[in-house]
């Protein structure tokens, strides 16, 4: 009992960071993943991380221990949110495409998040999820949270970095990069739909007898699906680069805590 009480405070800090990471990390935070599985996985991952990094930390329960718990929860949430933002790239890009193709009024419920998502965005999200699992990305996320204790130890200065604005600036820059990346992903289809609208506008001026509203929507829908089929072979390389950028951003987040 004395041995358990001496190591229990440090383990709880590790458990808080790992659990908060799984609350927002892609794949693990999905609604169709059972909660007991998440808790059990968090317990064993925290145990492995604690045996490698936290076992040497002499932490006692005092007045600052609650702040330490909040700090570890914030660290796990920030790390998981960075990974999740790169998964939302495909949904944001799908939203841009759906608005141009006419699918904007047909949002569907995403079973992974339980929220409404664009049709094309939901399709791309399922593809990127399968590709992420195929490339063992879920294992890289586990490695990231376990290696986080090498860069962000239990005695980290997260509050100081937050007050200094480094973390908020990093999150804002990451969100800007994600939004720009999603717009670049949707650019080919958006440009094609824009040129289609220009052509339909010229047709309406040259031949007013054509009902543009009747032929415009099916034409844009067929053209959008055709463009989507043509772009499908390049999705693997594109999503692989997104995963690489996600890992680089997580490493950059670790770098914020290096003096």
Q: Which domain holds residue 37?
A: 2-255
What is the Cα–Cα distance from 29 to 41, expressed in whole angstroms?
12
What is the Cα–Cα distance from 161 to 251, expressed in whole angstroms?
16
Half-sphere exposure of 32 (CA within 13 A, CB side): 7
The helix (run of H) or strand (run of E) holding residue 118 is: none
Over residues 183-213, the pLDDT tens digits come to 888 888 888 888 888 888 888 787 777 777 7
What is the structure's pLDDT at 51?
80
What is the structure's pLDDT at 161?
75
Over residues 157-190, the pLDDT tens digits come to 777 777 777 888 888 888 888 888 888 888 888 8
Q: Residue 50 — pLDDT band, cuts 50, 70, 90?
A: confident
From the list 64, 121, 76, 69, the residue with the least C-alpha distance to 94 is 121
The chain-wide mean pLDDT, for the chain, equals: 80
Q: Is 179 helix (H, G, I), strand (E, B) or coil?
A: helix
Sequence-separated (6 or more) residues with CB below 8 Å from residue 164: none
Would you say 107 and 119 are in contact if contact means Cβ atoms under 8 Å apart? yes
The helix (run of H) or strand (run of E) holding residue 116 is: strand 116-117
Residue whose entry in the numeric block shows the structure tokens 């376990």: 146
Phi, psi of 109 (to 5 degrees): -85, 125
Query: Could you tell me which residue, 213 or 38, shows the higher pLDDT?
Result: 38
Report how many domains make up the chain. Answer: 1
Q: Which two tokens stand for residue 128?
A: 């990127």
What is the structure's pLDDT at 96?
79
């Amino acid at each position: 009992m004395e041995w358990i009480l001496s190591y229990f405070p440090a383990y709880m800090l590790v458990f808080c960071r790992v659990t908060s990471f799984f609350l927002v990390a892609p794949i693990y935070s999905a609604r169709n993943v059972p909660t007991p599985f998440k808790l059990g996985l968090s317990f064993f991952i925290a145990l492995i991380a604690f045996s490698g990094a936290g076992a040497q930390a002499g932490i006692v329960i005092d007045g600052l221990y609650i702040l330490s718990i909040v700090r570890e929860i914030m660290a796990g949430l920030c790390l998981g949110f960075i990974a999740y933002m790169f998964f939302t790239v495909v949904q944001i890009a799908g939203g841009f495409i759906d608005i141009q193709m006419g699918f904007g009024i047909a949002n569907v419920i995403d079973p992974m998040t339980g929220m409404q998502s664009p049709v094309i965005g939901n399709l791309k999200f399922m593809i990127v999820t399968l590709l992420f699992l195929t490339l063992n990305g879920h294992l890289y996320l586990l490695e990231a949270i376990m290696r986080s204790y090498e860069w962000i130890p239990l005695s980290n200065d997260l509050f100081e970095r937050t007050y200094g604005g480094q973390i908020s600036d990093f999150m804002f820059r990451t969100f800007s990069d994600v939004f720009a990346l999603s717009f670049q992903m949707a650019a080919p289809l958006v440009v094609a739909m824009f040129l289609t609208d220009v052509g339909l506008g010229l047709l309406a001026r040259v031949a007013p007898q054509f009902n543009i509203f009747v032929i415009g929507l099916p034409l844009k829908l067929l053209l959008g699906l055709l463009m989507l089929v043509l772009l499908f072979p390049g999705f693997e390389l594109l999503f692989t680069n997104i995963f690489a950028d996600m890992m680089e951003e997580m490493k950059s987040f670790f770098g914020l805590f290096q003096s």
